[in-house]
Amino acid sequence: RNNAEKFEFQAEVSRLMDIIINSLYSNKDIFLRELISNASDALDKIRFLSLTDKEVLGEGDNTKLEIQIKLDKEKKILSIRDRGIGMTKEDLIKNLGTIAKSGTSAFVEKMQTSGDLNLIGQFGVGFYSVYLVADYVEVISKHNDDKQYVWESKADGAFAISEDTWNEPLGRGTKIRLHLRDEAGEYLEESKLKELVKKYSEFINFPIYIWASKEVDVDVPTDEDDSSDEEEKAEKEEETEKSESESESEDEDEDSEKKPKTKTVKETTFEWELLNDVKAIWLRNPKEVTEEEYAKFYHSLVKDFSDEKPLAWSHFNAEGDVEFKAVLFVPPKAPHDLYESYYNTNKANLKLYVRRVFISDEFDELLPKYLNFLKGLVDSDTLPLNVSREMLQQHSSLKTIKKKLIRKALDMIRKIAEEDPDESTGKDKKDVEKFSDDDDKKGQYTKFWNEFGKSIKLGIIEDAANRNRLAKLLRFESTKSDGKLTSLDQYISRMKAGQKDIFYITGANKEQLEKSPFLERLKKKNYEVIFFTDPVDEYLMQYLMDYEDKKFQNVSKEGLKLGKDTKDKELKESFKELTKWWKGALASENVDDVKVSNRLDNTPCVVVTSKYGWSANMERIMQSQTL
Ligand code: ADP
Ligand code: MG
């Protein structure tokens, strides 16, 4: 084309496209859901703009917020069009090739090691999956602020952009034309496309139509009775009979008249066929939504189409001053970068809708940082629709929403434990009965804890209002847990008569702690001691002072009381001179005091940290951080 401008793909994008086009990856289906997801995003954008400016929608067909799929079997072209926001010339240049998204190189790397393209959508480069099935792609787009343009590329390192003077005008939106490769012929089958939309795009909130063919029988007049074919004749007679019996009111005369000679032929007609049910899952009654449906909804929400189900979900309807519906999910796995630069970044994971209209997935006001591993959405009827995102972000209702979401999230997590048969260890028999025998639930809390336990600890540190609720969710090993995880409630149920404090010790690992002289006497007296071996535990215990009216006592610190011993006073007296001398001798070594201790059994002496000082483990952690 003579008006085409040529551009080179940014290097990382070009690499990504090379990998995709040469990929032997068998699941090529994913391209369709990526295109539909982009169309849906574009529709969300124009709908959002229309809240404050009705004019942007235009009129006539342009107001129809929908997605259309069309096939051209002869030319082997599959096209997907939307009436979304569209792209200006500049958008086309930037979004489709010259600027690499932050996830591009991460995805390229992942592709090279795992070869799994399934997560492409999560990395923000889903569009390029079109090259799994096409060797030439055209993107025709019309944005309200610009003319209609065509972007085209054969994935050969370059793309071209031209003002569109030859295609039909789109009005507004984007049409993607995929020139399918020979081996991608299956995507020219309507049935295949229908199946894919059902499978992957069921939860798109805009109608998806396919230009579907329909075989219909039509009677066409024939010039002469040439139907020597007996079968056809019989068929025709049968049909006439049927229509007679069905229409009794028909004129007798007409019936006796000589029938006009017709024959039935198959004819193909086309019409738009709706492929999805656009009723949003969160508007439905939770009792009527199946587990399968929640799992599928989760997968489409996070663009992860692996088979792993979410660990838990909570679907509820909040009423009162602030009304909203929400669905929250605990993912099956933590993303690899969940705790990376935890304090510097906000990773919002909930989508916010106001009265069914998608507003943003970047609101970090909805959940506290420590819960940002959750996925899901909130749809509020209380928030105003016709204000900017910035104003919405300041809205007072958000605080109430956040509070309720936290409560529900913690309930959901508590339930994972309650329903897990493994969690019943160490509980009373009457408690055991409430656990189901459901194999699906077995070991789920351990799984949760291994993936997200650190988030619960960070929550205890950050969220004073929910500290006790979060402490209930805490798991750890102890001198009596027998290699398994145990909870504070279970610890308390095992406490010795007269034991006031909850004992714990911190260190690098359990093996080392088990040999600690600090445990000698406690073990001998049959007290249980919690092992805290995660660096974050040291910080945690600065915030977690007590639980159910019991104080926490670090057994390597001053203040350990193991019940009264009548000999204590005597011993203290008889060693008075020795301790005094010793204290003097160590005065220059940062030693505060020397005391007779009842915490040891075989070891003659031990260094103890003062009540408010850093434990030895904390010293170790701090040292490794400064190095
Ligand atoms: P992502 O959807 O995660 O942003 P993609 O690679 O799928 O990544 O798409 C890249 C960008 O191209 C989108 O962010 C969007 O700006 C633009 N885009 C793609 N498809 C469309 C479309 N149908 N309408 C408008 N913009 C689109
Ligand atoms: Mg996309």
Residue-wise pLDDT tens digits, 194-252: 999 998 888 899 999 999 999 889 888 887 655 555 555 555 555 444 444 444 444 44
Pocket perturbation via mutation, ligand 1, pick of 10, 95, 102, 303 by most ligand atoms within 8 A of CB: 95
627 pLDDT exceeds 80? no
Verdict on whether the full-model pTM lies above 0.90: no
Is the CB of residue 78 below 6 angstroms from any atom belonging to ligand 1? Answer: no
Closest residue (by CA) to atom 14 of ligand 1? 95
pLDDT tier, 448 (very low <50, low <70, confident <90, very high otherwise): very high
Task: State how far the Cα of 160 lies from the Cα of 153, in Å rounded to an integer.
Answer: 7
580 contact partners, CB below 8 Å, separation of at least 6: 594
Q: What is the mean pLDDT of residues 571-580?
A: 85
pLDDT tier, 426 (very low <50, low <70, confident <90, very high otherwise): very low
Q: Which ligand is in closest contact with the Cα of 37? A: 2
The residue assigned the tokens 């160490």 is: 426
38 CA from centroid of ligand 1 (Å): 5
So what's the pLDDT on residue 248?
A: 46
- Per-residue pLDDT reduced to its tens digit, 153-183: 999 999 999 999 999 999 999 999 999 999 9
The residue assigned the tokens 């993107």 is: 139
Q: Which ligand is in closest contact with the Cα of 103? A: 1
pLDDT tier, 253 (very low <50, low <70, confident <90, very high otherwise): low
434 pLDDT exceeds 50? no
96 CA closest ligand 1 atom index: 12
Total residues belonging to the chain: 627
Strand order in the sheet with 5-8: 5-8, 158-163, 148-153, 134-142, 173-180, 77-82, 67-72, 208-221, 262-274
Closest residue (by CA) to atom 13 of ligand 1? 95
39 CA closest ligand 1 atom index: 23
Pocket perturbation via mutation, ligand 1, pick of 125, 127, 131 by most ligand atoms within 8 A of CB: 127
102 CA from centroid of ligand 1 (Å): 14
So what's the pLDDT on residue 422?
A: 85
Q: Any binding-site annotation on 62?
A: no
Residues with CB under 5 A from ligand 2 (ion): 38, 126
128 CA from centroid of ligand 1 (Å): 10
For 366-370, which contacts have Cβ atoms below 8 Å and span 24 or more sequence positions?
366/398, 366/401, 366/402, 366/405, 367/402, 367/405, 367/406, 367/409, 368/402, 368/406, 368/459, 368/462, 368/463, 369/342, 369/343, 369/458, 369/462, 370/455, 370/456, 370/458, 370/459, 370/462, 370/463
Q: Which of 495, 567, 491, 550 is nearest to 525 (CA)?
A: 495
Tell me what the pLDDT averaged over the chain comes to: 87
Q: What is the mean pLDDT of residues 406-427?
A: 86
Lowest mean pLDDT among 92-106, 128-142, 294-308, 336-350: 336-350
User: Is the predicted ipTM greater than 0.95, yes or no?
Assistant: yes
60 pLDDT exceeds 80? yes
